[in-house]
Amino acid sequence: MEQPMKLSVRFNEALGYAAALHADQVRKGSGTPYVAHLLAVASLTLEHGGDEDQAIAALLHDAVEDQGGLERLNVIRDKYGEAVAIIVEGCTDAVSVPKPPWRERKERYIEHLADVEPRVRLVSLCDKLHNARSILTDYHSIGEEIWSRFRGGRQGSLWYYRALLETFARYPEHDALKNEFRRCVEALEALANSGDEAPSA
């Protein structure tokens, strides 16, 4: 029987660090404390075979993009090691302020997924799956209004999630996660299409 993995004090410290970094952030439109997303991504990462470094990186996957750029990445490297820093950097689509244009960033991120290790793709996939789940849940509450939360709008967001789905599908790992991600993306597309077909009032 495989030995269960035990998380160390490093994970506990990283959780507190991530919560402090993102203390003033909320999820787009919902007002949910941002740490809820970080916890969900870490949970998915652990549930699908991730180790402690990957779980810590999941907690910190948005820290560079949202909380300090390359300077923050260097702090993460010093605090948690190179393995965590590599994953966090691999999950980051921008380090500069202001960020590059939205479509350019997303195209680069999709291309970049081909060059990262499976360890990085696991955390990235968990992040994108939780985002897609959240969008789908909120769509059922507010409908097409959901797209106003996102810089890419309706068409850009649907393009991005479809492109991510097709990119992750090229790799052999994490079938269960990819299948759930596919269901979420296809459900979003179906809802958006049904909105297109609805008769005007």
Give CA separation, 129 vs 73, 106, 162, 170, 191, in Å: 24, 16, 12, 16, 17
CB-count burial class (<10 Å; 0-12, 13-18, 19+) for 19: middle
Identify the active-site residue in 51, 66, 107, 180: 66
**Residue 65 falls in the annotated catalytic set:** yes
In whole angstroms, what is the distance from residue 28 CA to residue 100 CA? 20
Residue 112's contacts (CB-CB under 8 Å, 6 or more residues apart) are 90
**Residue 47 falls in the annotated catalytic set:** no
Identify the active-site residue in 52, 62, 65, 93: 65
Q: Which residues are catalytic?
A: 65-66
